[in-house]
Amino acid sequence: MKIISINAGSSSLKFSLFDMTDESVIASGVFERIGIDGSSYTIKVGKEKTKEIVKLENHIDAVNILLDKLTSMNIIKSLDEIVGVGHRVVQGKDIFDKTVLVDDEVMEKLESIKHFAPLHNPANMEGIRAFQKALPNVPMTVVFDTAFHQTMDETSYIYPVPYEWYTKYGIRKYGAHGTSHRYIAQTISELYGKENLNIISCHIGNGASLAAIKNGKCIDTSMGFTPLAGVMMGTRSGDIDPSILPPVMEKEGKDINQIMDDLNKHSGVLGVSGISSDMRDIEDGVKAGNKDAIRAYKKYVRRIVEYIAQYYVLLGGADVIVFTAGVGENCDILREDVCDYLACLGVKLDLEENKKRGDINKISSDDSKIDVYVVPTDEELMIARDTLNLIER
């Protein structure tokens, strides 16, 4: 049972090919600079990587080369082995609250909401169309970043702005990283053998979001109408006072599109430090005593702590706090500093366990009032699982 998980960007296409009999990754890779000079692909099988410069005019070229390489490199014997393709789509609005099989109606609905994620959804749809053309008889699914957050109630997702903005234009909190947060919820529930848990899931990467999860369902999340809201991130500002924008626009001579570009691409850790958006560089700067790195790092930690504290109260206490994604999984100093703030809640770390990397790991001490875990996230596996479940019905 071979299933491909696809994440198509505007100029890229990432894939993972799974053998669903044991959920192992057979191959993975990325096609980059699609439609741009210098395009290439990288395919990884086991520890071996193959990289080649190729001309990629569009996503159809990428898909055709991918499928050709899967057979010519003897990764699979025949394309007939592929029983399903799962596609990541960023924004499902409040139309989609779960993974769905692709059909004409689904594509029409995606077309109608693509302006809610103009940088992502059209590219995601290009990937779907390319695979439909190459594998017309293979079932396709769409897995939405926003679907897991559709269990939020109105108190959580409505903004304190004129209500008609929501009824007329769909302005509300949608969240993101839902597939990752759902993976965390399922993994922790399986680990504890029960669903009635209060979990604070911290997906901390270059983009970052937290989710308050009660009994397996999201009741609030930090990202909002777009992924710009919430905690401070690599290049995104997170929550700010919007009244700062008009005077900056006036002084800088910038329009709204330029200022939004600043908030999305030149703010956050990069903006505050002036050094880098990469937490590894910031960590090195902190160790070297660089005041700019220290300033950005402290603000970064504080914003994460504020959301954890908020969700602790909203949940009425927490059973488990989970760190995941690139920074959450790999930066032990960040986890330690965040948890130092949470000592007032009874959080205690096992400092030796906190330094370990790899698999699922409990990093809290035995006398901690809240369990703290590091769980490597696997959105691609969630996509493959959803796809298998739907095509087996």
Would you please indicate which residues are annotated as catalytic (active-site) residues? Answer: 145
Q: Determine the straight-line distance between the first and last CA of the chain, rounded to whole angstroms.
A: 15
Q: Which residues contact 33 (CB under 8 A, 6 or more apart)?
A: 11, 12, 39, 40, 56
Distances (CA, A) of 163 to 92, 158, 173, 276: 21, 8, 13, 39
Transcribe 344-392 into DSSP letters.
GGT--B-HHHHT--SS-EE-B-TT-SSEEEE----HHHHHHHHHHHHHT
Pairing mode, if any, of strands 2-8 and 12-19? antiparallel
Quickly count: other Cβ atoms within 10 Å of residue 277's Cβ: 20
User: Nearest-CA neighbor of 58 among 16, 12, 119, 121?
Assistant: 12
Structure tokens at 93: 């609005």
- Residue-wise DSSP of 182-251: HHHHHHHHHHHT-S--EEEEEEESSSEEEEEEETTEEEEES--SSTTSSS--SS---S--GGGHHHHHHH
Contact 324, 201 (CB under 8 A): yes
Report CA dihedral (317, 320, 325, 329) to the nearest 10 degrees.
130
Could you give the CA distance from residue 347 to residue 370 in angstroms, rounded to a whole number? 6
